[in-house]
Amino acid sequence: MNTIFSDRISDVPKSFIREILKVAVDEEVISFAGGLPNRDLFPVQELKRAAENVFDKEGTSAMQYSNSEGSPKLRKFISDRYKLKFDLEIPVENILITSGSQQGLDLLGKAFLNEGDDIIIEEPGYLGAIQAFSIYRAKFNPVKVDKEGIDLDGLVRVFNVSQPKLMYTVPNFQNPSGISYSERNRKGVSEMVKDKDIYLIEDDPYGDLRYEGEPKSSFKQLLPSKTIMLGSFSKTVVPGFRIGWIVAPNEIFEKLLIAKQASDLHTNQFAQSVLVEYLAMGDFDSHVSKIKEVYGRQREAMIKGIEKYFPKNVEFTQPEGGMFLWVSMPENVSSMKLFNIAIEKKVAFVPGHPFYIGKSETNTLRLNFSNVDEETIELGIKRLGQALTVLLKK
């Protein structure tokens, strides 16, 4: 009966990370696998008060159908934040509220991609983007990223042989590697893209979570007419609300709005109302500062643990922000083999191959530091170091 399903859904595998999380449900397993915010930092009491205020002030209107664009007050807050952070003038009319930034990727796929259309992605790249665009049977053109950003020579090679419609980037604290594009790299990308018939997607779910270093330019500043921005409140407030947004130029906003209407009519109206009320309380910046303080300590605990317990021939990134760092073992060492040993030692991570196109084995892995406390991080990294020692001696 498999023939009753569409080709597009038959070609796309389940989320590898979601499958790994099933393996890590054992309470004794320390998991660095999920990209989960720390639930201890969710502003539960503040959101409870906000919800009560919504019921008192708005009543049934907060539970009615709403416009597809999203709450005007929420869009105004986002617009004001762009002005404050980047000195960007983003009209409210160019902001579309989505069901998480993941829906933003789906809407972009709907609006732009026909089967076989070329798209540039980072290597390693965000698994959620790979899965979202795979539904539309895009042709992926992966370009490597390193500590400076995306490989400019690799971009030249792609443009020499194809005409990609979209270029997907996570320039700040990239998922999975944790790296950030340098200012020089961003300008190099912008120079290369500015005269081409392509839109650059700047996905920035972690941008507020910087623990050291200086903020860099947004691609919207460097490529104002060609940049589509994605954002999310999942990492700074709560992921369960599933509230994100797209900033899109006028000429494509209407297409994305049509795609949104066909998908779900509008994002959860009640959750938007509660979020607006919470943001109006004025605690958002202090809340983000608290997150940064905690995650910064957790990142430092993971780096120190790696330096203490990992074999010296294992390399890793040291991100300035975000939620992840990236580990590279010696060539021809399998991260899946390491995963199997690590699970026996009650620690989990994400092997690297799902973040690549067409690879079933890699020597890389992703570690998340935001969802476990410092003491647990040290114990988990110690266990992972033991697993690495076992594997590298084989």
Q: What is the pTM of this model?
A: 0.95
Given a cut of 90, is residue 72 above it in pLDDT? yes
pLDDT recorded at residue 385:
98
Could you give the percent of the chain with pLDDT greater than 70? 96
Given a cut of 80, is residue 249 above it in pLDDT? yes
Of residues 1 and 169, more confidently modeled: 169
Position 35 confidence tier, pLDDT thresholds 50, 70, 90: confident
Q: What is the mean pLDDT of residues 159-178?
A: 98
pLDDT in tens, 250-294: 999 999 999 999 999 999 999 999 999 999 999 999 999 999 999
Beta strands in the chain (DSSP E): 30-31, 95-98, 118-123, 139-146, 149-150, 166-169, 199-203, 227-232, 244-247, 315-316, 324-328, 347-348, 350-351, 364-368
Cα 235 to Cα 205: distance, rounded to the nearest angstrom: 7
Q: What is the mean pLDDT of residues 193-219?
A: 96
pLDDT in tens, 364-393: 999 999 999 999 999 999 999 999 999 998
pLDDT recorded at residue 375:
97
Residue 311, preceding peptide bond in cis (omega within 30° of 0): no
Instruction: Please give the mean pLDDT across all residues of the chain.
Output: 95
pLDDT recorded at residue 41:
97
Given a cut of 70, is residue 185 above it in pLDDT? yes
Four-point Cα dihedral 173, 215, 253, 113, nearest 10: -30
pLDDT recorded at residue 4:
85
pLDDT recorded at residue 348:
94
Position 25 confidence tier, pLDDT thresholds 50, 70, 90: low
pLDDT in tens, 308-348: 999 999 999 999 999 999 999 999 999 999 999 999 999 99
Q: What is the mean pLDDT of residues 240-250?
A: 97
Given a cut of 60, is residue 2 above it in pLDDT? no
Q: What is the mean pLDDT of residues 49-70?
A: 95
pLDDT in tens, 79-108: 999 999 889 999 999 999 999 999 999 999
User: Can you read off the two tokens belonging to residue 107?
Assistant: 């809407």
pLDDT recorded at residue 19:
65
Helices (H), 209-283: 219-222, 250-264, 269-280
Could you give the percent of the chain with pLDDT greater than 90? 90
Position 27 confidence tier, pLDDT thresholds 50, 70, 90: confident
Given a cut of 80, is residue 21 above it in pLDDT? no
DSSP state of 233: S
Please state the φ and ψ torsions of residue 68, each to the nearest 5 degrees.
-75, -30
pLDDT recorded at residue 23:
63
pLDDT recorded at residue 8:
82
Position 34 confidence tier, pLDDT thresholds 50, 70, 90: confident
Given a cut of 70, is residue 24 above it in pLDDT? no
| Domains and their CATH numbers in the chain | 2-43+286-393 (3.90.1150.10), 62-280 (3.40.640.10)
Please state the φ and ψ torsions of residue 244, each to the nearest 5 degrees.
-135, -165
For residue 170, how many other CB atoms are within 10 A of its CB? 27
Q: What is the mean pLDDT of residues 47-60?
A: 96
Given a cut of 90, is residue 131 above it in pLDDT? yes
